[in-house]
Structure 1
Amino acid sequence: MTTSATADPDFTLRVRKYVATQTVAAFIAGGVAGAVSRTVVSPLERLKILYQVQGTGGASYTGVGASLAKMWREEGWRGFLRGNGTNCVRIVPYSAVQFSSYTVYKGMFMEAGRTELDTPRRLISGGMAGVTSVVATYPLDICRTRLSIHTASLEALGKTGQHIKIPGMWETMIHMYKNEGGVLALYRGMIPTLAGVAPYVGLNFACYEQIREWMTPEGERGPGPFGKLACGALSGAIAQTFTYPFDLLRRRFQVNTMSGLGFKYNSIFHAISSIIRQEGLRGMYKGVVPNLLKVAPSMASSWFSYELVKDFLVTIDPDNEPI
């Protein structure tokens, strides 16, 4: 038995039109893209975090192949996906907000009579979208970082990676709230995060759209599937290379109150000077190798999933032309 609402063809049409609007379609497609991309590269994402936070207190994880083997040996396949559930809980709204807010900001900056932004406006729109998504989902990000390193056998923490009770996401957040400074604890490290995310997202969106234009055959609306994958991989690699030190600072500040890691920072400038003095300039790029290895499949799958889902959602409105 159907309700009058679901049986009403006008209601169904209104829902289809609503879902097919640019902002809503971008929101849904962005969420799907985030979940797909993070799951694809979960082992490398966790390994990057472990590299970033092990500091000078003992290099327990060295070499990508050896570190992945160590993770598998000590924690099994679950070690590859440790923190990924929380990461997906975070990345779905994060990515959804980012893509949909970029669509909104693009509309705000679009000049009358034009259908595309110039590069400076793309950078600004992308940067604003990055800030919006970070502020909306940051507590989930810091929680994911804590869970990612909780079972790792970091020498500085004296852990073996085995027989350790794993806290839940909400348990971790409540513990931080009660014992590490209330609401501010859930936003620790957000300043360096914003400093890195704004240029990263701006570069990512601007590079993707520019490369997409270059790779679109004349007379076509966009490149083919492999072209879209290539656009995503290139844009992500460029953006990550320029902004990686900010990502490292973000991780360090997120675990700054945990004992045994070999560092305690009072400010961003103190952190940068301490890292360079104790670990050298290369210390600002710890974890960059697994990060770059994950960028290509991550951003390629993200942009491809986003465009695929968004194109489908837009076309469910019968008044829209196929993309």
Structure 2
Amino acid sequence: MMTTEVSRPTKMILKQNILEHVHVEHLIAGTTAGVAATLMLHPLDVIKIRFAVHDGIHSIPKYTSIANAFSTIQKKEGFRGLYKGVLPNVCGAGLSWGLYFFFYNSIKDFMQSTTKHANLGPGYHLLAASQAGLATLLITNPVWVVKTRLCLQFSSDLKLENSSQCYNGMLDCLAKIYKTEGIRGYYRGLVPGIFGVSHGAVQFMVYEEMKTNYYQYHNLPKSNKLGTIEYLAFSASSKLLAVLATYPYQVVRARLQNQHYSYENATDCVKKMAKFEGWRGFYKGLSTNLIRVIPATMITFVAYENISYLLLKYKS
């Protein structure tokens, strides 16, 4: 009887081949870039989430504009109110960007070696970004649940010190979610989050195609580092297209993670939004989101491209 057991030398070769495509420099560069952008723009993230969860049914603070939201939060909750949820946001953004760039580049390099194509097409870029996004989401979803809940902790919640909805920071929030909701509480909003993987996939596909076309048009080798203007233009354009195409999932996800609301599941949330708010409900907070994510993405990608280039150059 024949055996299909892989010999030890073959296993070592396979392991070595896989490790050749893994570069920790992408993890370091992505994490650093994500943290820097998040610290600069976190207040807009707080406002975006609060706009997104306002459904006209629940009695939570309503803001008439971005400026009104800034002034109201600062007046009622102080400057710290604008930075609620900043720790999980920094941890989540740093970890997410780091892991995403790490997984994406590893998968992309592996695809290039197996297909023998130096320039992968949009289909391969979409597939690599989707796989990287799914892996990142499964690891980081608990952090995003905590961030959302801390961002949605209003001054009225803080008066209820013994309430399970009163959180005294990231660790306290993690503990109370586990105590009251179990492991499932950490993965609220996971289903729309999985749909949201398409957001990163679209963004990275467009970004990569723009870079590839630019290299080909100017007849440049792909090892060349582009200028800051090119990275800014490509990252902003790709992010704008991705946001417009996939934004509704973020609204649904934020509402499922909100401790003040109670939906049976993502389908129930979508039905109620469509019934009570119409299509506009799926795009609440969009303008605030664009004001936040476009600069954040530009900062992140420029920082990532430059840091990863320097690290990889130093390594070689």
TM-score band, normalised by the shorter chain? 0.7 to 0.9
Identity fraction in percent: 26
Give the SS at the match of 1:41: helix
2:212 equivalent in structure 1: 213
Mapped to 1, the partners of 2:282 and 2:155 lie a distance apart of 21
Structure 1 spans left out of the alignment, 5+ residues: 1-19
1:253 equivalent in structure 2: 256
Q: Which aligned pairs between 1:191-270 and structure 2 lie closer than 5 A?
A: 191-196=191-196, 198-216=197-215, 217-219=218-220, 221-255=224-258, 258-259=259-260, 261=261, 264-270=262-268
Mapped to 1, the partners of 2:70 and 2:168 lie a distance apart of 23
8 Å contact kept, 1:215–1:223: no
How many residues are paired up? 286
| 142-151 or 32-41, which deviates more | 32-41
Matching residue within 296, 303, 306 for 1:305: 303
CA displacement, residues 225-257 of structure 1 (integer Å, 9 cap, x when unaligned): 1211111111111111111111111111112xx
Is the counterpart of residue 179 in structure 1 residue 180 in structure 2?
Answer: yes
Counterpart AA for 2:245: F
1:96 equivalent in structure 2: 98
Q: List 4+ stretches of structure 1 deviating above 4 A.
A: none
1:106 equivalent in structure 2: 108
| 57-66 or 171-180, which deviates more | 57-66
CA distance 1:134–1:152, change in 2 (3 Å): farther
CA displacement, residues 119-156 of structure 1 (integer Å, 9 cap, x when unaligned): 01101110111111110111111001111111367xxx
CA distance 1:287–1:158, change in 2 (3 Å): farther
Counterpart AA for 2:111: F
1:129 equivalent in structure 2: 132
8 Å contact kept, 2:29–2:307: yes
Shift of 1:165: 7.2
Structure 2 spans left out of the alignment, 5+ residues: 1-19, 160-164
With the length of structure 1 as denominator, give the TM-score of the two structures. 0.82
Mapped to 2, the partners of 1:97 and 1:120 lie a distance apart of 21
8 Å contact kept, 2:21–2:109: no
CA distance 1:87–1:142, change in 2 (3 Å): same
1:169 equivalent in structure 2: 170
Shift of 1:80: 2.4
Counterpart AA for 2:211: R
1:3 equivalent in structure 2: none
Counterpart AA for 2:91: V
Mapped to 2, the partners of 1:311 and 1:175 lie a distance apart of 42
Shift of 1:66: 1.3
8 Å contact kept, 2:204–2:238: yes
With the length of structure 2 as denominator, give the TM-score of the two structures. 0.84
Mapped to 2, the partners of 1:22 and 1:131 lie a distance apart of 18
1:50 equivalent in structure 2: 50
